[in-house]
């Protein structure tokens, strides 16, 4: 699990279909993993990533860094899913249904601890520690200052330490 390099390309020498195919083959799996960490659902993550690739295709001729554009679009798509989920959960009675997937205890504990974070904190943690992105790029993606990213990360790590004690 490493960084997701943003493939650079020459727009004039590469048509959208060839370039998009290359972008898809290098970025798809990593984007789905990243989105799954953010929304905690592989199926929803796949939908978000597919929507992001459609957005990249539509904007192909006007973007210089398709990988960065894709990553930003995925994160923003995940944020929209999380906002919608939060709204639905506030207006739906709690059913208390247990998860059907059996995971190792430490992953369940980490997943539970991650739910204690705010959406922005979760995004920062995933982008910083899973995608290995620098604070400046995370700040651009979440439309915040780098100092805000550092603050969100610091608070998120404090929450995670407390939850995992």
CB of 20 within 8 A of CB of 56?
yes
In this prediction, residue 86 carries a pLDDT of 81
In this prediction, residue 165 carries a pLDDT of 80
DSSP letter, residue 12: G
What distance lies between CA 4 and its chain's CA centroid?
11
CA distances 145 to 98, 151, 152, Å, are: 38, 10, 11
In this prediction, residue 107 carries a pLDDT of 58
Domains parsed from the chain with CATH numbers: 1-94 (no CATH), 98-165 (1.10.10.10)
In this prediction, residue 93 carries a pLDDT of 63
Residue-wise DSSP of 109-153: HHHHHHHTS-HHHHHHHIIIIIS---HHHHHHHHTS-HHHHHHHH
> d(Cα 140, Cα 46) in Å, to the nearest integer?
23
Q: How far apart are the first and last CA of the chain?
A: 25
In this prediction, residue 102 carries a pLDDT of 59
The pLDDT tens digits of the residues spanning 53-97 come to 999 999 999 999 999 999 999 999 999 998 888 877 777 665 554
pTM above 0.75, yes or no: no
Give me the residue label for tokens 């430490």.
106
CB of 108 within 8 A of CB of 65?
no
In this prediction, residue 115 carries a pLDDT of 81
| Closest alpha carbon to 73 in 91, 57, 95, 97 | 57
Ordered mean pLDDT values, 10 residues apiece, the chain (165 residues):
46 64 94 92 95 94 93 93 82 54 60 82 89 92 94 92 84
In this prediction, residue 30 carries a pLDDT of 94
């Amino acid at each position: 699990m490493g960084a997701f390099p943003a493939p650079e390309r020459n727009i004039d020498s590469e048509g959208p279909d060839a370039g998009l195919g290359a972008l898809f083959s290098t970025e798809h799996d990593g984007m789905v993993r990243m989105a799954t960490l953010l929304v905690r659902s592989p199926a929803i993550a796949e939908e978000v990533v597919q929507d992001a690739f459609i957005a990249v295709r539509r904007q192909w001729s006007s973007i210089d860094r398709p990988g960065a554009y894709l990553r930003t679009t995925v994160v923003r798509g995940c944020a929209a899913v999380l906002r919608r989920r939060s709204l639905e959960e506030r207006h739906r009675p709690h059913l208390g249904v247990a998860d059907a997937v059996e995971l190792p205890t430490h992953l369940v504990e980490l997943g539970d601890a991650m739910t204690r974070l705010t959406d922005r904190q979760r995004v920062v943690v995933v982008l910083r520690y899973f995608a290995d992105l620098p604070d400046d790029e995370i700040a651009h993606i979440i439309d915040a200052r780098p100092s805000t990213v550092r603050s969100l990360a610091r608070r998120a790590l404090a929450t995670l330490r407390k939850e995992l004690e």
